Amino acid sequence: MSKTPKQPQIATLLEGLPYIKEFFGKTIVIKYGGAAMAEAELREAFATDVVLLKYVGLNPVVVHGGGAEITDYMDRLGLEVEFVHGLRVSNAQTVEVVKMVLVGKLNKDIVLRLNRHGQPAVGLCGDDGSLFEVTKQLVPDGAGESLDLGYVGSIERVDVDVLNHIAADYIPVVASVGADREGQSYNVNADEAAAAVASALGAYKVVFMTDVEGWLADPDDSATLISEADVGTVRRELADGKVMGGMLPKLKACAEAVERGVSYAHIVDGRKPHSLLLELFTDAGIGTKVRPADE
């Protein structure tokens, strides 16, 4: 005799159903990084979540950074690590390490994990299929001049043709490096890369996984989580210079994606196992949601 399923389990499945209907066939870009990439248990949970998204008919596209591991390898090589406004200062040696660690190691680790969990994945970086065209990023210093962060790139153009080909059968996994027209490689912030990919694909959502609860009004107080904000509010806070560190490129990326047609951008706590599924398929919603201005 088969066991009668427990009510809470059925309730959970039923709670997910309207979301599965809403997202079916839609593209969800996931920026993977921070804690969810650093801990073995969280890495497995993340892979399970992404594979599940593909199985229930969504089109997940992963874009990843790898800040912690790049820093670790730079330390091992005795290279200096420096961040300005949340961006890694990148000389020629730094870019070489970034490319090796992101493309050679982390990208393949993610691909392998997704494969093992039952959905084949294909890894690529901005160079593959000319996905990204990058130019040197000029960062304003606040006094009318530009700061030189070295080979830190901005994405000029995204050609999603290669992604669309891959996504028909596989989960694309994109490492956030790319080159300019002369062939010089650049380190690209993964939040910016995720926003560029999401807008170019016309994604429904972009989800940024990070190692805090979300956007905090006071970075030192997790009780000050901003659970929802429209893009105008985000732009105002950015212009007021109130956003610091790694949250700066992340919130900029949220604003850019939503301004360019992505319906919603989310920042979720990647330290919580299965935060991706919780955000997408439950009523609870966690983290910060950035919505268009006119809602």
Ligand X SMILES: Nc1ncnc2c1ncn2[C@@H]1O[C@H](COP(=O)(O)OP(=O)(O)OP(=O)(O)O)[C@@H](O)[C@H]1O
Interaction site with ligand X (CB under 6 A): 33-34, 65, 67-68, 86, 190-191, 210-212, 215-216, 219, 243-247, 250
At 160, list the tokens.
């999603």
The DSSP call for residue 148 is -
Residue 90, Cβ density class (10 Å: 0-12 exposed, 13-18 middle, ≥19 buried) = buried
Residue 150 or 246 with smaller CB distance to Mg ion: 246
Among 246, 255, 268, 281, binds Mg ion (CB under 5 A): 246
Residue 150 or 214 with smaller CB distance to ligand X: 214
With CB cut-offs between 5 and 8 Å by kind, which of Mg ion, ligand X, none does residue 102 bind?
Answer: none
Provide, rounded to whole angstroms, the least separation between the CB of residue 36 and ligand X.
8
Partners of 49 in beta bridges:
none
Pairing of strands 171-175, 177-179: unpaired
From the list 107, 104, 116, 102, the residue with the least C-alpha distance to 62 is 107
Provide, rounded to whole angstroms, the least separation between the CB of residue 9 and ligand X.
32
With CB cut-offs between 5 and 8 Å by kind, which of ligand X, Mg ion, none does residue 215 bind?
Answer: ligand X
Q: Which long-range contacts (CB under 8 A, 24 or more apart) does 283-286 make?
A: 283/15, 285/227, 286/213, 286/214
With CB cut-offs between 5 and 8 Å by kind, which of Mg ion, ligand X, none does residue 219 bind?
Answer: ligand X
Provide, rounded to whole angstroms, the least separation between the CB of residue 231 and ligand X.
17
Residue 142 gets the label, from left (phi > 0), alpha (psi -120 to 50) or beta, of left
Residue 1 or 40 with smaller CB distance to ligand X: 40
Provide, rounded to whole angstroms, the least separation between the CB of residue 259 and ligand X.
20
Residue 126 or 246 with smaller CB distance to Mg ion: 246
The Cα–Cα gap between 277 and 190 comes to: 21
The Cα–Cα gap between 264 and 205 comes to: 5
With CB cut-offs between 5 and 8 Å by kind, which of Mg ion, ligand X, none does residue 126 bind?
Answer: none
From the list 86, 31, 91, the residue with the least C-alpha distance to 61 is 31
Provide, rounded to whole angstroms, the least separation between the CB of residue 174 and ligand X.
13
With CB atoms as reference, the residue minimizing the distance to ligand X is 246
Span near Mg ion by CB under 5 A; candidates 8-16, 137-145, 223-231, 243-251: 243-251
- How far CA 243 is from CA of 141, 154, 211, 252, in Å, comes to 15, 20, 16, 10
Provide, rounded to whole angstroms, the least separation between the CB of residue 169 and ligand X.
27
Residue 16 or 273 with smaller CB distance to ligand X: 273
Residues lying near Mg ion in the complex (CB under 5 A) are found at 246
